[in-house]
Amino acid sequence: MEDFEWVQAENKDLQRGIKILHELVGPDSIAVDEHDNLYTGLIDGRVMKIMNPGKAKQSVVELTKSFDFAEGSKRNKKRPLGLRLHGSKLYFADAYQGIIMIDLKSQTYDIIVDYDDVNPPLILPDDLTITSDGKTIYFIDMSLKWTYDDVAISILEGQCSGRLFKVDVLTKNTELILDSLCLPNGIEIVENETHVLMSEHGRRRLTLVNIKSAEVVRHIAFPTGTDSIRKRKNGGYWVGMPYIAEPGHFATWGPVFREIFAGALGSGGIFTKFDLSQGAAVKLNEYFDPESIHLDLEGKLCRAVTEISELSDGTLAVGSFIANGIALVDGSAFD
């Protein structure tokens, strides 16, 4: 990690806060509305709304209580991952079912992209972003080979079969923009909406893509695999890092050795090779350059960080794909 100057920091920034709702397991992604209510998807397939988070009148509602968005699907599993709000519509990428929309007013749902609406079918839809007019969604499919059940193998093997799509929300017409991506697991549309910034976890980098020409414009190297990317309130971006790979860790190996190692370990043994007890998040400036890293190396409040979303007062809502509860961190001292 010595090649990344911005990593040379020791702090406890991600310990400055509280944990709420320990009974909510695996809040991978967290969307925030104009009233600072939170929305998240859980490991058991539920989608939740948290009102007045961390305050005296905090309350929780299950948005999926009245329906099953996997009903009738040949895939009977659910795992909501990346979430986005646009007006009264909550969109999310489900790891098994595709791209789903919940109408918060009518408490109904719609499948925007079913997993088998494209060819080859979606294997692991992971995250999405939406244009400001709400008409177009850009989303990523992490792998053509490994499902969410085998995500650890996909990370270790590091193969590059991920895809970037766009879908017209009204017509549901879906188009492939780019393929051969290396485990894309995070996406954010940039300010002028001509580009998207993606995480390519399998190559430890962020990738800037011109969505008009479908060309890669730039790679931003990281010392470890990145996850979701979300805009900061004052410009720039937050990037979650689920684990920190020390020098010599298998995540830094070449793809051939990683594939051999993956075959030898199998899915049961791979997660034991990740240290998911720590929390880390990186702040990017508006030009996509990493500025600083923020840590909870003891895992007291944050661990296996997948996403950072900001509330209006600068509080950071920290998502994790395995943690119990949502961490609310005081981000005011980070600027």
Give DSSP secondary structure letters for 262-296: HHHH-HHHHGGGS--S-EEEEEE-TTS-EEEEEEE
Domains of the chain, residue spans: 5-334
One-letter amino acid identity for 162? G
Residue 22 backbone dihedrals phi, psi, to 5 degrees: -60, -20
- What are the distances in angstroms from CA 248 to CA 209, 223, 224, 244, 259? 30, 11, 11, 12, 16
Local confidence band at 247 (pLDDT 50, 70, 90 cut-offs): low
- Chain length of the chain: 335
- The mean pLDDT of 106-124, rounded to a whole number, is 97
265, 267, 273, 278 alpha-carbon torsion, rounded to 10°: 180
Has residue 248 got a pLDDT over 80?
no
Mean of the per-residue pLDDT values of the chain: 90
One-letter amino acid identity for 151? V
Residues 13 and 286: their CA atoms lie apart, in Å, by 21
- Which sign does the torsion angle of CA 244, 249, 254, 259 carry? negative
**pLDDT computed for residue 286 by the predictor:** 96
Local confidence band at 275 (pLDDT 50, 70, 90 cut-offs): confident
**pLDDT computed for residue 246 by the predictor:** 59
Has residue 267 got a pLDDT over 90?
no
| Topology at the third CATH level for domain 5-334 | Neuraminidase (2.120.10)
> 3-state DSSP call for residue 114?
strand
DSSP string, 51-79: ESTTSTT-EEEETTTT--TTTT-S-----
- For tokens 């509280």, name the residue: 18
Number of neighbouring beta carbons within 10 Å of residue 243 = 23
Identify the top-confidence range among 237-246, 269-278, 319-328.
319-328
Count how many Cα atoms sit within 13 Å of the Cα of residue 14 in the half-sphere of its side chain: 32
User: Checking DSSP bridges between strand 229-231 and strand 237-241, what pairing results, if any?
Assistant: antiparallel
Between residues 31 and 4, which one has the greater pLDDT? Answer: 31
Residues 226 and 205: their CA atoms lie apart, in Å, by 7
Element (H, E) at 122: none
Local confidence band at 303 (pLDDT 50, 70, 90 cut-offs): very high
**C-beta separation of 41 from 35 below 8 A:** no
pLDDT tens profile 69-105: 999 999 999 999 999 999 999 999 999 999 999 999 9
Residues 255 and 129: their CA atoms lie apart, in Å, by 29
**C-beta separation of 245 from 268 below 8 A:** no
